[in-house]
Structure 1
Amino acid sequence: MSDVAITSLLMVVLFALLGSGVWIGLTLAGVAWIGMQMFSSRPAGDAMAITVWGAASSWTLTALPLFVWMGEILFRTKLSESMFRGLAPWVNRLPGRLLHTNVIGCTIFAAVSGSSAATCATIGKMTLPELARRGYPEDITIGSLAGAGTLGLLIPPSIIMIVYGVTADVSIARLFVAGILPGIVLASLFSGYLAVWATMNRDRVPPPDAAMTLREKLFESRHLIPVVLLIGAVLGSIYSGFATATEAAAVGVAGSLILSGVQRSLNWATFRDSLLGATRLYCMIALILAGAQFLTLAMGYIGLPRHLAEFVTELGLSPFMLILALAVFYIILGCFLDGISMVVLTMGVILPTVQAAHIDLVWFGIFIVIVVEMAQITPPVGFNLFVLQGMTGKEITWIARVTLPFFFLMCGMVLLLWFFPQLATWMPSRM
């Protein structure tokens, strides 16, 4: 059977299971099992057991439930309210007003977590209930969070950059530095879109709060001090070498508990509810992750990623057309695989072609991160979409639709990166 036929069959099975209401993680695992049974000689049951155990027992993944718990604590205490009170005076007069807190919050937290899912889940726990309470529309609120949550991969420290750096033998420090400017530019594009959307939909945006003087704004900013202290503790522990990203997540949990205790908003009920809420959300994410890992293994055994990569390589395209073809290739691949697996499974075939086209590997690393970000918000295996579905109860198709403008903004970012490569290469060249 041809690759196209295999892909079509697995797509039909995937959508049939999702449409019948089967849990997403079980759907991914089921499609992987069918693929391995039908098109691979490897025993599917044995592979499934090993993969699920490996995904569930990953030490690196320990940071995710801790960051989710930190978000739950912030959501259930006065810390999230304090963040809004501190930010509101400064964004209140911008078109879109408090919608910008999604982008600002994700941009800041991206420098803490290195994970798109953790960024999306943590900031969503703080912003979604508050924006809903203030009357902001659900579609633009959830769409902007899904889009901005992808910044967790681009702004250092980034897990995907580490994987690419090791795979491509590129300096991880240079990759981290290269991601700063593109991350800021992409966040600015998101905020710019929110401003344009708000200007065109004035009737859907709640009215601004009363105008404040500069002195009053600075006084209200005191409410940001607890959140700034918390972020400073997490970032400081990472960049000082005191803690790894996983250990820094534990620092974040301890810091949020201490700060909420000092504010007297922590009690047994909020502690229990935050712990149970984090457990429920992470169990949902972990099941999806396990299913995605098994699907990735199945795709590897079937050989689809390698065959697709070889097909792109054999086209003999110019550098610009090669980048466009790779962007389309990774977007399609992202419909089935998680970001790390996309990099690991394809770099061995793609890198020689990229080097032959004289494309800078640091620049290419940032390009890869952006297209992997795009895959985080493309169905059927867009991980940010799954996280938001678990948090909001909305249909995947609805979340994908409201996130579509931010997908196109990322496409624009890829073009910006091509025509202005200095965005990714200028800062590393100064090292």
Structure 2
Amino acid sequence: MSDFGITALLILTLFLLLGSSIWIGLTLTGVAWIGMQLFSSRPAGDAMAVTVWGSSSSWTLTALPLFIWMGEILFRTKLSESMFRGLAPWVSRLPGRLLHTNVVGCTIFAAVSGSSAATCATIGKMTLPELARRGYPEEITIGSLAGAGTLGLLIPPSIIMIVYGVTADVSIARLFVAGILPGIVLAALFSGYLAAWALLNGHKVPVPDRVLSFAEKMHESRHLIPVVLLIAAVLGSIYSGLATATEAAAVGVVGSIVLSAVQGSLNWATFREALMGATRLYCMIALILAGAAFLTLAMGYIGLPRHLAEFVGSLKLSPFMLMVALSVFYIILGCFLDGISMVVLTMGVILPTVQAAGFDLVWFGIFIVIVVEMAQITPPVGFNLFVLQGMTGKEITWIARVTLPFFFLMCAMVLLLWFVPQLATWLPARM
């Protein structure tokens, strides 16, 4: 059978299994097993056992459950309330006023969470009721929250960066540092759009209750101290070289437990809920990673990545056109798969192509994170859309429509990253 026939058969098998509601991790494993059994001479069972064990016992992957656990603990604290009280006085003078608490709040919480859905849910729990009570239009409050919630993937620590680092064999610490500047720039784009919207729709922005003095603003800022200390402990330990990403994750867990205890939200029930929530989420991700590792091995034995790289090379695409093609490919894929599945499913095939094109793998990791962010707000499988649908009761199509401007801002960010690659490479080069 030709390479095209093998590829078509495996893709058809993949979508048939996914359509039958089989878990994604088991689907990837099944497709890999079928591919090796039919088109490779190596015994599939032996290869599966070795690969699944090797991927599951990776020391680098240890950071993943720890960061997930840290986010689960913080989700159950009073951190979101404290952040709103500390942020609101400083944005009241900007066009759009309290709308910026969505963006700034998500930016700050992303630095201690690592999950887009957790960032969206936690900040939404804080801002949506407060903004609705003050009379802000729900289409701009919900749309900005959905868009800004995706910053949980880009600003370190990031779960998707850990997954990419493991699958692409790239330093997770370098990826974390590389995400800082692009994350800040994307947050600035979001806030800039909100300011422009407010200037064009001034009659829709409520008048502030009262303007606080500088001394009063500084007094309210004390509520930001806990989250700032936690961010400094996690990211500072990585950037200073005192800790690896895994060790920094352990620091984050200890810090979140201490913070939860100080705020009075730590008890046996919340501790157990956080631990079980993190365990369930990590087990799902670990199963997907194990299946993807086996699928990557199977594709290597069949030879598909090499043939695909040769095919793409024969098209003579310029690096820019290759970037555009990959962006479109991942946006379409994001309509059907979650971000982690997208990364682990495609890396084995895509990496040889981008390496042949001369892409820096740290830069490419940030590019992948941004296009995966888009998948968080594209129906029908946009995780942030699901989160907001559960919180607001709105139709998912309505939420997707009000989020569309932020999707286009992410497209602009991809172009900006292409023309100014130093946004992703300048800080890692100084480590």
Q: TM-score, normalised by structure 1?
A: 0.73
Q: How many angstroms does 1:83 deviate by?
A: 1.9
Q: Which of the residues 110, 123, 126 maps onto 2:122?
A: 126
Q: How many angstroms does 1:220 deviate by?
A: 1.8
Structure 2 residue aligned with 1:30? 30
State whether residues 296 and 338 of structure 1, in contact with CA within 8 Å, keep that contact through their aligned partners in structure 2: no
Q: How many angstroms does 1:265 deviate by?
A: 2.7
Tell me: CA distance 1:427–1:281, structure 2 relative to 1, closer, same or farther (3 Å).
closer
State whether residues 85 and 220 of structure 2, in contact with CA within 8 Å, keep that contact through their aligned partners in structure 1: yes
Structure 1 residue aligned with 2:308? 308
Q: For residues 33 and 239 of structure 1, what CA distance do their matches in structure 2 show?
A: 41
Structure 2 residue aligned with 1:56? 56
Tell me: CA distance 1:297–1:59, structure 2 relative to 1, closer, same or farther (3 Å).
same
Root mean square deviation of aligned Cα: 4.7
Q: Deviations over 1:333-374 (max 9, x none)?
A: 8888654775565555543443xxxxxx65x74245313531
1:144 counterpart letter in structure 2: G
Tell me: CA distance 1:260–1:310, structure 2 relative to 1, closer, same or farther (3 Å).
same
Q: For residues 429 and 18 of structure 2, what CA distance do their matches in structure 1 show?
A: 47
Q: For residues 400 and 39 of structure 1, what CA distance do their matches in structure 2 show?
A: 45
State whether residues 106 and 120 of structure 1, in contact with CA within 8 Å, keep that contact through their aligned partners in structure 2: no
Q: Deviations over 1:207-242 (max 9, x none)?
A: 676343143332222111111111122223323433
Tell me: CA distance 1:315–1:74, structure 2 relative to 1, closer, same or farther (3 Å).
same
Q: For residues 311 and 77 of structure 1, what CA distance do their matches in structure 2 show?
A: 52
Tell me: CA distance 1:375–1:263, structure 2 relative to 1, closer, same or farther (3 Å).
closer
Bigger drift between 302-311 and 340-349 goes to 340-349
SS at match of 1:235: helix
Structure 2 residue aligned with 1:147? 150
2:355 counterpart letter in structure 1: L
Tell me: CA distance 1:263–1:324, structure 2 relative to 1, closer, same or farther (3 Å).
closer
Q: How many angstroms does 1:318 deviate by?
A: 4.3
SS at match of 1:150: helix
Q: How many residues align?
A: 414
State whether residues 3 and 304 of structure 1, in contact with CA within 8 Å, keep that contact through their aligned partners in structure 2: yes
Structure 1 residue aligned with 2:259? 259
Q: How many angstroms does 1:404 deviate by?
A: 6.3
Bigger drift between 247-256 and 120-129 goes to 120-129
State whether residues 128 and 141 of structure 1, in contact with CA within 8 Å, keep that contact through their aligned partners in structure 2: no
Structure 2 residue aligned with 1:276? 276
Bigger drift between 263-272 and 2-11 goes to 2-11
Bigger drift between 220-229 and 412-421 goes to 412-421
Bigger drift between 408-417 and 1-10 goes to 1-10
Q: How many angstroms does 1:182 deviate by?
A: 3.3
- Unaligned runs of at least 5 residues, structure 2: 133-137
Tell me: CA distance 1:41–1:417, structure 2 relative to 1, closer, same or farther (3 Å).
same
Alignment of 1:13-412 (within 5 A): 13-91=13-91, 100-101=100-101, 103-105=103-105, 107-108=107-108, 118-124=114-120, 126-131=122-127, 133-134=129-130, 140=143, 143-144=146-147, 147-152=150-155, 159=162, 180-193=180-193, 210-213=209-212, 214-325=214-325, 327=327, 339=343, 346-348=350-352, 350-354=354-358, 365-375=362-372, 377-378=374-375, 385=382, 406-412=406-412
Q: How many angstroms does 1:125 deviate by?
A: 5.1
- Unaligned runs of at least 5 residues, structure 1: 355-360
Report percent identity of matched pairs: 63
Q: TM-score, normalised by structure 2?
A: 0.73
Tell me: CA distance 1:162–1:62, structure 2 relative to 1, closer, same or farther (3 Å).
closer
Tell me: CA distance 1:303–1:206, structure 2 relative to 1, closer, same or farther (3 Å).
farther
Q: For residues 255 and 305 of structure 2, what CA distance do their matches in structure 1 show?
A: 43
